[in-house]
Amino acid sequence: MRLCLPTFLLFSVLVHLSGCAAFRNYDLEMQQTTDQMTQGNLYGALALMERHNPWEDKDLLYYLERGAILSAGSALPESQEDWRTADRMIFQREEANPSGAMKLLTRFGNEMGTMLVNDKLLRYEGYDYEKVMLTTQMALNQLSVNDFDGARADIKKTHEREVLIARQREVQYEEAEAQAKTQGITLRYKDLEGYPVAILDAPQVVELKNGYQSAFSHYLAGFTYEALGERDLAAPGYRQAIELRPDMPFLQKALRNLDKPAAKADESDVLIIVQSGLAPARSSVQVPIPVRLNENLVIIAPISFPVMIADAVTPTFNHLNIDGHKQPLTVINSVTDMAMRTLRDDMPQIISRAMFRANLAAIGQAQENDRNPAKASLVVTQKDPLEEADTRTWRALPDKTLVTRLRLKKGLHTVDVPIYPPGHPLTLRVDKDHQILNLRVFRDQTYYVGSAFVAPATPLPEKVTSSK
């Protein structure tokens, strides 16, 4: 049962929330899209994106997802165009500062919409880690075509966005804590019966400083500044990466090597980046919430909570073969871990909104018990089709980022990826003093991104040829 708002207020809330795809099955839509990506059919993935977004006013997720698909296909100008549109949308929302009655109505509309129905009513703003990874991926697009100056601008955006998010997070935590005290909420996510608590308490999740800063982003900044000859800016990038991942010798080596001589004239300092898998899906699980209405009456309300489901279709590997020699890879970033940490940090606010809905459902059941004592129940019996967690998230974002760095002679080299067809090494052209080689891996598909890769001389199997 839902409480009714006054007609004029309900109308205002609906107007504010209009245009949102509150009842889309976004998880299913993107599962179909990413299935095409992992089968090597990027054209099919793009076609599904258009089919699922027929309206003229596209939302933030459309541009995030489409940019990622285009980037994997090395359509980098088109990818940048979509991602810059997404970046502008995020920036405009960050800069927006409605005042007076409109600000109050906006905030009230958001809170009432999500409390009375679910989080899917809210306009999708993007999670903090998605905003940071967006500008990181934009920089990587630039670096894949040796545009270090262009990448510098996107790296600067990443740093500025991290600072803004840190300030916003501090305010959010204070508000969530005050709200919980006001409402008398003592429920914690660890108390949710049947909720997979272990995934939020995994060591690699708890050890993260926060859910939005990435060691990869800062290492990439360090490499970019180093390539531009700005070693005084490269050092802070490497130091920040080390602070985020202090257990990683690969990062510490980059900082130490800043004082060493640069590569010789016929050599290149090469950073190979392999991004594998997909960001985790976001699903909905119902948890029984006991609501005490008085000293003698407790009613159980089934309330939905979000849960993350990691990509399990892309195999793991820890090395490449460069010119026939094994080269180890270091996992420098996991979007799955960042998403898990973000959800863990957001749980107090999620629980606060869920408790509001649980109380409404319990009150509705108590009223129904009074009307029909013969069918009285201590569990909410009326199934609410709107009681579902928000499953929207940037699914085509790469999950793991693996890196290796070495000096290579300028010229042609071969790279073997373990899951690429045996006997069909990639050929790359190294001709810059600093160069980035960017590979994208889904399941058994390897996409080479950027200008360094040479078309294969040996004919590839049909499955691989059709995917490029």
> Alpha-carbon distance 182 to 76, whole Å?
50
> Alpha-carbon distance 240 to 17, whole Å?
39
As a whole number, the mean pLDDT across the chain is 85
Domains observed in the chain: 7-465 (1.25.40.10)
Residue 99's pLDDT band (boundaries 50, 70, 90)? very low
Instruction: Read off the pLDDT of residues 44-91 as tens digits, 9 standing for 90 and up.
Output: 999 999 999 999 999 999 999 999 999 999 999 999 999 999 999 999
User: 435 is written with which tokens?
Assistant: 């160069």
**Residue-wise over 131-153: b if at least 16 C-beta within 10 A, else e?**
bbbbbbbbbbbbbbbbebebbbe
Residue 13's pLDDT band (boundaries 50, 70, 90)? very low
Look at residue 70 and give its three-state secondary structure. helix
Q: Report whether 138 contacts 87 (CB < 8 A).
A: yes
**Which residue(s) pair with 403 in the sheet?**
273, 330
> Is the pLDDT reported for residue 40 higher than 60?
yes
Q: Report whether 291 contacts 298 (CB < 8 A).
A: yes
Instruction: Read off the pLDDT of residues 266-321 as tens digits, 9 standing for 90 and up.
Output: 999 999 999 999 999 999 999 999 999 988 899 999 999 999 999 988 888 899 99
Instruction: Read off the pLDDT of residues 320-335 as tens digits, 9 standing for 90 and up.
Output: 999 999 999 999 999 9
> Is the pLDDT reported for residue 425 higher than 90?
no
For helices 148-183 and 335-371, the axis angle rounded to 10 degrees is 30
pLDDT attached to residue 109:
44
Secondary structure (DSSP) of 363-424: HHHHHHHHH-GGG--SB--S--TT---------SS--EEEEEEEEEESEEEEEE-TTSPTT-
Instruction: Read off the pLDDT of residues 147-183 as tens digits, 9 standing for 90 and up.
Output: 999 999 999 999 999 999 998 888 877 776 676 667 6
> Alpha-carbon distance 369 to 298, whole Å?
13
Q: Which residue has the higher pLDDT, 301 or 460?
A: 301
pLDDT attached to residue 426:
86
**What does the angle CA 67 – CA 70 – CA 72 come to, to the nearest 5 degrees?**
110
**Gyration radius of the chain's alpha carbons:** 25
Q: Which residue has the higher pLDDT, 314 or 213?
A: 213
Q: Starting from the edge strand earliest in sequence, which strands make up the sheet with 319-322, in order?
A: 325-328, 319-322, 411-416, 426-430, 453-454
Q: What is the pTM of this model?
A: 0.88
> Alpha-carbon distance 34 to 73, whole Å?
14
**Which residue(s) pair with 441 in the sheet?**
276, 446
Secondary structure (DSSP) of 127-180: -HHHHHHHHHHHHHHHHTTT-HHHHHHHHHHHHHHHHHHHHHHHHHHHHHHHHH
Residue 449, φ and ψ in degrees, nearest 5? -115, 130
pLDDT attached to residue 424:
72
Instruction: Read off the pLDDT of residues 392-416 as tens digits, 9 standing for 90 and up.
Output: 999 999 999 999 999 999 999 999 8
CA distances from 459 to 26, 203, 464 (A): 38, 45, 10
Share of the chain above pLDDT 90, in %: 64
Chain CA centroid to CA 225, Å: 25
Cα–Cα nearest to 37, from 446, 426, 454: 446
> Alpha-carbon distance 264 to 269, whole Å?
9
> Alpha-carbon distance 143 to 155, whole Å?
11
pLDDT attached to residue 168:
86
User: 281 is written with which tokens?
Assistant: 């899906």
